Amino acid sequence: MGNSVLLSEISGSIWKINCKVGDVVESGQEVLVIESMKMEIPVVSNVKGTVISIFVNEGEMVNEDQKLIEII
């Protein structure tokens, strides 16, 4: 089992981050929300594990395929 890096599926701004480094998250858990074109797009973890890095901040603009969060 390796690291899992969550990527942005769409360009937009980071509306809300629902975790912090050190948190244990479940597979399917919402870890952040991206706002794009007045829609809220949830980003969910694809694995159960511990958040080791958060590469973005609330309010920051992100591009498609940009790294968001790393989980081990």
Q: 68's torsion region: left (phi>0), alpha (psi -120 to 50) or beta?
A: alpha
Say what the pLDDT of residue 20 is.
Answer: 98
For residues 17 and 20, give the distance between their C-alpha atoms in angstroms, rounded to a whole number: 8
For residues 54 and 17, give the distance between their C-alpha atoms in angstroms, rounded to a whole number: 9
CATH of the domain at 56: 2.40.50.100
Range of the domain at 62: 4-71
Instruction: Count up the domains in the chain and report the number.
Output: 1
pLDDT in tens, the chain (72 residues): 568 999 999 999 999 999 999 999 999 999 999 999 999 999 999 999 999 999 999 999 999 999 999 999
Say what the pLDDT of residue 3 is.
Answer: 84
Say what the pLDDT of residue 2 is.
Answer: 65
Exposed e or buried b per residue across 31-61, where buried means at least 16 C-beta atoms within 10 angstroms of its C-beta: bbbbebeeeeeebebebebebeebebeeeee
